[in-house]
Amino acid sequence: MTTTQARADGAVGALRGGIRARGLTKTYGAGPTAVHALRGVDLDVAAGSLVVLSGRSGAGKTTLLNCLTGLDRPDAGTAFLGDGEVTAMSADQLLTLRRDSIGFVFQTFGLMPLLTAAENVGVPLRLRRTPVAEREERVRLLLDLVDLRRHADQRPGELSGGEQQRVAIARALVTDPAVLVADEPTGQLDSRTGHQIMDLIEAVTRERGTTTLVASHDPGLIARADQHLELLDGRLER
């Protein structure tokens, strides 16, 4: 086994060590119409910290999150979660990494409309083939965490935007991931509900020791961050 393969195989068990990237570069297209989403990004995130990444639309926020978590491959550079080199992992290794160690929260919630809130939260555990009794207990605990136990049997269309986002957060946390990634989690919510989601994200980070990366321009969330990074035309401004 090569050194690179060993680092990749060990990633899932080593994620508590934080996140770092060196020289991440990503370009879409070619020639005069090419979009340089990332231009040699260097990044260090301490384990258990809350980091907010901001920047105007098209600045590269989502691309950076995707490259850090293996949803996209950079053209150059390296990204590490703990001691595991994400940029060296195979497709199967990345699938395992995301399934077991990273929770994702999307601006559009990403819930399955035909499933109840409880069933949506339980999807990651089904993918891991978690025993039914254990899965149901974990789902109950997470719905309690986001104060939605009474809505367990409702489908997304029967829930408010804030309730749907809380279901999405519960789903992201049900596997107890080392890393939580949220892309504009308050972007579609009113200010009161947005503050509730901010409170929940901050509490999860502080109380569970989760390393949290949030793409957001919300000043309220930026004020809570341990670290605020701004992307401008694919480069981090410090």
Q: In degrees, to the nearest 5, what angle opens at C-alpha 97 toward C-alphas 95 and 99?
A: 65
The answer to whether residue 142 scores a pLDDT higher than 50 is: yes
pLDDT for the residue 20: 94
* Per-residue pLDDT, 6: 37
pLDDT at 209 over 90: no
pTM of the model: 0.84
Confidence label for 238 from pLDDT (cuts 50, 70 and 90): low
Q: 90 near 9, Cβ under 8 Å?
A: no
Domains along the sequence of the chain with CATH: 3-237 (3.40.50.300)
DSSP code of residue 144: H
User: What are 25's strand-pairing partners?
Assistant: 39, 76
Q: What is the DSSP letter of 74?
A: -
Which pLDDT tens digit goes with each residue over 121-133? Answer: 999 999 999 999 9
